[in-house]
Copies of this chain bind each other. A is one copy, B any other.
Amino acid sequence: MKIRKGSFRLSNGVYFKSGYTIVGKKEEDGNFSGNFDLVLKNDLWGEKSYEKAECKMHREAISGAIAKSNLTRDDVDIMLAGDLLNELSASSLAARNFPTSFLGLYNACSTFGECVLVGSMLIDGGFADIVTCSTSSHFSSAERQYRYPLELGNQRTPTAQWTVTGAGACVLSKKKPNFEDNLVKSDQVIEDMNEKDRKFILDTAVARVKYEKNHVAKVVEGTIGRVVDLGIDDESNMGAAMAPAAADTIIRHLGDFDRKIDYYDAIFTGDLGRYGKELLEYILSKEGIDLSDTYMDTGASYFKPEQQTFQGGSGAGCISTVFNGYILSKLENGALNRILVVPTGALLNKDTPLQKETIPGIAHAFVVETEKIKEKYSKKQ
């Protein structure tokens, strides 16, 4: 249902059936360590080029999300995907491995948000039951496409971000996922144990994931972003180009739904980076919106300071790996119950700055809420 121009509410909500993530070694060494499904030993993953490796990551992330949902590729109605390579080549070439209708989407690093918005509207509108949403980026393919040959070993500017080598995919579903079988099984086993064994089992990852999945996450609302260009012309300072777009979307979103920012347990922006995050906080504070400590920028938080990424992570794989790994698990275990996710993108290519164009930004927002799987699990939080 349309709320206002570009803002909508889903009639029933659309469920996240699964999320699957693949990242490189540097990403696993960062702050979200332990939240990814697959970590590559090296960035080429047995392929002859970084572009082919990104394509493989993208393909395997989609396959992984489908498998994790206990589905086959024949169950998927529509694939929505995008990436940063020219003409979406990672997604397009990945898509030829699936017998599935394909929609290529591109809004730079906010593409994952675009996929979730469009995918959930298509399901809620009755046009599909199951869709996949996926995006990827790769440090080395992005670096040599957008900036300089890797061999040049160019020095990076202090406002630069580090393109995340990662692919994230999720399966969106009209029907509420049925985790109950797993839950009951693991729960019975756990309940039957003595205290010591129980603690041991709960401390092991596999049981914990099954046990703690006491919520399902669903998209309930969204605000499609506008293109905002305040005249930033430094392609090494994407945070400055994207922060005004993020502010525009958040302000519009809160206005359209007539609510305050504290309606949300947490706000996650795409990949503004440390400087862009500060800019957004400053812009919003001028509008009386205090993000305070419920706010995380997935780019700024991706890497540790000693990893020398300067402003943090970026790329279409940045928020998609954090969302489908870290954030989704926080929702499913009940630590978060209502969040606003705002992936951000900078709309440039290699040539536009050379042709003296400024860099427009865009940011999409979607709201994720949780639903309890079984009432009794809520007591154990």
Contact = CB atoms under 8 A, between A and B. Distances in A.
Contacts of A107: 102-104
A102 B49 contact: no
B99 A226 contact: yes
**How many copies of this chain?**
2
A101 interface: yes
B96 A2 contact: no
A227 interface: yes
A352 interface: yes
Given A2-B128, A6-B101, A105-B105, A95 B227 contact: yes
Contacts of A351: 51, 86, 89
A301 interface: no
A126 interface: yes
Nearest to A92: B347
Nearest to A146: B87
A253 to B, nearest CB: 11
A189 interface: no
A6 B100 CA distance: 8
B226 A102 contact: yes
Contacts of A289: none
Contacts of A114: 103-104
A52 interface: yes
A176 to B, nearest CB: 18
A27 to B, nearest CB: 23
A122 to B, nearest CB: 6
A86 B89 contact: no
Nearest to A87: B349
Contacts of A40: none
B108 A106 contact: no
Contact of A350 (B86, B100, B106, B128): B86
B355 A51 contact: yes
A281 interface: no
A59 to B, nearest CB: 11
Most B CB contacts (10 A, CB to CB) among A118, A127, A355 go to A127
A54 to B, nearest CB: 12
A252 to B, nearest CB: 9
A229 interface: yes
A129 interface: yes
Most B CB contacts (10 A, CB to CB) among A48, A87, A107, A227 go to A87
A227 B89 contact: no
Contacts of A98: 226-227
Interface in A87-136: 87-89, 92-93, 95-96, 98-108, 114, 117-118, 121-122, 124-129
B108 A87 contact: yes
Contact of A2 (B103, B127, B348, B350): B127
Contacts of A1: 126-127
B349 A85 contact: yes
A153 B86 CA distance: 25
Contacts of A6: 77-78, 100-101
Interface of A: 1-2, 5-6, 8, 48-49, 51-52, 76-78, 82, 84-89, 92-93, 95-96, 98-108, 114, 117-118, 121-122, 124-129, 223-229, 347-352, 355, 357, 360, 362
24 contacts: A2-B126, A2-B127, A6-B100, A78-B224, A86-B87, A88-B106, A96-B228, A96-B360, A98-B226, A98-B227, A99-B226, A101-B224, A101-B226, A102-B225, A102-B226, A103-B105, A103-B118, A103-B224, A104-B106, A104-B347, A121-B121, A122-B125, A125-B125, A125-B126
